[in-house]
Every structure is written in C-alpha cells, then in structure tokens.
C-alpha cells in the first residue's frame, strides 16, 4: 500500500508490545514510511551536522505527517522520533560513504 496516496482521514493502526516495540501487520510499512521520510531533504536537511540541532518545526511537521497516516499515540512519539533519527543518520552515513569518500579515490 502506498501510504502517501491513502485517502484523507484513513489511518493505519500501530501495535506495540509491553516493551514498546512495534509489532503487527503495519510494523514493516511504518518502518519503510519513516525511512522514506528520513531521506526527504525538505523535511530533514542533510547539511545538519547533528540530529540534536534539528529544528523543532521539522520534528513537528513529521509528527503531523505520521499522525495523518497512522494512529500514533502520544506515548509512542518518542519511539517514532528515535527511529527517524537513526534512519536519518544511517542515510547520511550511506550518502557520505557512496559519494564523499569516492571523490578522494579519483
């Protein structure tokens, strides 16, 4: 299912276990959705040195986008932000490895 093309007002349910780990049928799709958001340079600039310096409005914009597609409880927002942070860092690392480091090999 293409999450971005879901009809307005339709939300997918997220399930968490007792240790606050994402489980259920929508877990993989949610992880992919966050991964696609982490690669979006309009939401998460890659020139930002450290996640801790990310502006609050970027985080709030992503929270609103996620809440427009998924049933995300306030108590699970920290999980989403932590997951998004890791995906953003991994994306930056992959870009640096694939493009920046290869410049010096020429």
DSSP 28-52: HHHHHHHHHHHT-TTTS-TT-S-GG
Does residue 41 lie within any of the structural domains?
Answer: yes
Total structural domains within the chain:
1
Does residue 86 lie within any of the structural domains?
Answer: yes
Prediction pTM value:
0.83
> Which tens digits make up the pLDDT trace of 40-98?
988 888 888 888 888 899 899 999 999 999 999 998 999 999 999 999 999 999 988 88
Does residue 53 lie within any of the structural domains?
Answer: yes
- Give the up-direction half-sphere exposure of residue 26: CA atoms within 13 A in the CB hemisphere: 17
How far is 10 from 57, CA to CA, in rounded Å?
24
Domain enclosing residue 46, as ranges = 12-103
Q: Phi, psi (5° rounding) for residue 13?
A: -85, 135
């Amino acid at each position: 299912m293409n999450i971005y093309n879901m009809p307005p007002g339709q939300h997918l349910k997220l399930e968490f276990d007792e240790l606050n780990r994402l489980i259920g049928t929508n877990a993989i799709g949610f992880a992919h959705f966050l991964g696609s958001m982490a690669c979006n340079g309009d939401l998460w600039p890659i020139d930002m040195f450290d996640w801790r310096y990310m502006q609050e409005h970027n985080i709030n914009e992503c929270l609103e986008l996620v809440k427009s597609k998924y049933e995300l409880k306030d108590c699970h927002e920290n999980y989403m932000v932590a997951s998004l942070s890791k995906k953003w860092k991994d994306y930056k690392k992959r870009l640096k490895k694939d493009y920046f480091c290869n410049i010096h090999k020429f």
